[in-house]
């Protein structure tokens, strides 16, 4: 059985405040601090992912690296996947996760894709993904609609 954590990147610099491209937008210092605290708390509360797959956008990669560090992973545990960037589909998530041959994988991405894909993996409904939130989904089989939500938490929800 596969467990997928869908993770929205932490708070990033606003597009109008950043001179570079959208793909280059980094996390804010506050976003780094809050997500680091949250990820450290999460590492105390849950058995973490074996590998972290991420969108190649800077803010997602930075979030993935913070998550990896909190769980004691080396940098090689963070793998950038172009298919997980903006426009990601539930099929891309399943394919990327299945290709890793692990039972627990985290996927760091973006809105609105995460809300849409979480709902699709669970078989419907509506999901609101604030920045830094994590949804843990158990998939008894690799199919859209087959998932079961284990838990959903984020920096604001855990009290951070």
User: pLDDT digits over 99-155, tens only?
Assistant: 998 999 999 999 999 999 999 999 998 898 999 999 999 999 989 999 999 999 988
Q: What is the mean pLDDT of the chain?
A: 94
Question: Residue 69 is part of which domain span?
Answer: 2-153
- Cα–Cα dist 78/62, whole Å: 10
CA torsion angle 24 28 34 37 (round to 10): 60
> Is there a domain that residue 111 lies in?
yes
Tell me how crowded residue 109 is: count the other CB atoms within 10 A of its CB.
26
> Is there a domain that residue 64 lies in?
yes
| Residue % of the chain over a pLDDT of 90 | 87
Tell me how crowded residue 5 is: count the other CB atoms within 10 A of its CB.
22
Place of tokens 């809050």: 34
> Is there a domain that residue 83 lies in?
yes
Predicted confidence (pLDDT) at residue 159 exceeds the cutoff of 70: no
pLDDT of 160 reads 52
pLDDT of 76 reads 73
> Is there a domain that residue 106 lies in?
yes
Segment 83-100 shows an average pLDDT of 96
Predicted confidence (pLDDT) at residue 83 exceeds the cutoff of 60: yes
pTM of the prediction?
0.95
> Is there a domain that residue 158 lies in?
no
> Is there a domain that residue 160 lies in?
no
> Is there a domain that residue 15 lies in?
yes
Q: What is the CATH number of the domain that holds 127?
A: 3.40.50.1240
> Is there a domain that residue 159 lies in?
no
Structural domain count, the chain: 1
């Amino acid at each position: 059985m596969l467990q997928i954590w869908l993770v929205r990147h932490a708070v990033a610099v606003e597009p109008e405040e950043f001179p570079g491209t959208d793909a280059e937008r980094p996390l804010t210092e506050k976003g780094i601090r809050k997500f680091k605290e949250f990820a450290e708390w999460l590492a105390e509360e849950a058995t973490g992912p074996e590998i972290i797959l991420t969108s190649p956008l800077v803010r997602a990669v930075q979030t993935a690296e913070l998550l990896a560090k909190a769980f004691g992973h080396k940098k090689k545990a963070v793998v950038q996947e172009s298919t997980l960037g903006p426009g990601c589909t539930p099929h891309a998530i399943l394919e990327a996760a299945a290709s890793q041959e692990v039972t627990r994988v985290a996927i760091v991405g973006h809105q609105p894709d995460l809300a849409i894909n979480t709902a699709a993996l669970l078989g419907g409904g509506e999901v609101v993904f604030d920045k830094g939130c994590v949804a843990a989904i158990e998939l008894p089989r690799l199919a859209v609609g087959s998932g079961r939500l284990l838990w959903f938490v984020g920096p604001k929800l855990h009290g951070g």
